[in-house]
Amino acid sequence: MQDQIKKAIDAPSETFTDLGKRVLNIIVPGSKLWPKFVNLPVVFPLHWLAKKVQTALQKITHEVITETMMVLEMPGSVLALGKNLDKTFPDTFKEISLPELREFLDKYDPCPDGKGNCAAENWTDLRQRMHYIIHLFKAYADDTSIFSAPFSKKQVALIEKGIIPDGKL
């Protein structure tokens, strides 16, 4: 799934790959018909510049998408996954005795006590996602409100009929 997430977010910038050729064709119509030995030296600098622009735009796109679209609605709050989850952990997580879990947490949670910043600035980065998710699971482990029904019985009945109910969903 990691690859699919990154490809989905990066899809708009893929058009930069052949931007050098397209820019040249706009500047010099018919340049597509030039032989490679003429075309390549002219296209290369344009492609190089386009690649630099693409890299910068991808970084900005990752951050903007994470900041604006990656939110999770919890009972009583909306969490922005690009912001630190400022909620304390229950004592349950002070000592981890399962070796496999300890190894997993050591790999993905650089601040196991919950005092560090777990914000995922770039949701395409697996380590950042896992770090946030680990903090989310720990922070809400004892919060029974997360087990409340997300929809009322009336809303469920409408959804089952294929109708989008009014109100908060």
Would 118 be classed as within a structural domain? yes
**pLDDT tens digits, 22-48:** 777 788 888 878 887 877 777 777 777
Mean pLDDT of 121-127: 85
Number of domains in the chain: 2
Residue 159 has pLDDT above 80, yes or no: yes
pLDDT for 127 equals: 92
d(CA 159, CA 161): 5
Residue 74, number of CB atoms within 10 A of its CB: 15
Would 149 be classed as within a structural domain? no
Q: Answer yes or no: are the C-beta atoms of 82 and 120 closer than 8 Å.
A: yes
pTM: 0.64
Of 48, 69, 90, which one is at a domain's C-terminal end? 69
Would 163 be classed as within a structural domain? no
Strand partners, 73: 78
Question: Concatenated DSSP letters for 3-29?
Answer: HHHHHHHHGGGGGGGGHHHHHHHHHST
- Say yes or no: 122 and 62 in one domain: no
d(CA 13, CA 52): 11
- Say yes or no: 96 and 134 in one domain: yes
Q: What range defines the domain where residue 117 resides?
A: 71-142
**pLDDT tens digits, 59-113:** 888 788 777 778 888 888 889 888 898 888 888 888 889 999 999 999 999 886 7
